[in-house]
Structure 1
Amino acid sequence: MDHHDKELLGREPLDDKELLARRFEADRGHLRAVAYRMLGSLGEAEDAVQEAWFKLSRSDISAVENLSGWLTTVVGRVCLDMLRSRGSRREDPLEYYVPDPVVRVVGGTDPEHAAELTESVGLALLVVLETLSPAERLAFVLHDMFAVSFDEIAQIVDRTPAATRQLASRARRRVQDATPAAGPDAHRQREIADAFLAASRGGDFEGLLAVLDPDVVLRADGGRTLAAVSKIVRGAEAVIAQALMYAKFKQAALPVVVNGAPAYLSVVDGRPAVLMSFTIAGDRIVGLEILADPERLATLDLSEEDLARAAY
Structure 2
Amino acid sequence: MKNIAILTSGGDSPGMNAGIRAVVRKAIYHGVNVYGIRYGYAGLLNRDIEQLHVGSVGDIIHRGGTMLNTARCEEFKERSGQEKAVEVLEEFGIEGLVVIGGDGSFQGAQKLTELGYPTIGVPGTIDNDIPFTDYTIGFDTALNTVIEAIDKIRDTATSHERTYIIETMGRDAGDIALWSGLADGAETILIPEVPQEIDEVVDRLRRGHERGKKHSIIVLAEGVASGPEMAQRIKDTTGDDNRVTVLGHIQRGGSPTAYDRVLASRLGAAAVEMLLDGEQGKMVGIQNNEVCSEWIKTALAQEHTIDHSMYQLSRELSI
TM range (shorter): under 0.3
User: Which protein, 1 or 2, shows the higher relative CO under an 8 Å CA cutoff with sep ≥ 6?
Assistant: 2
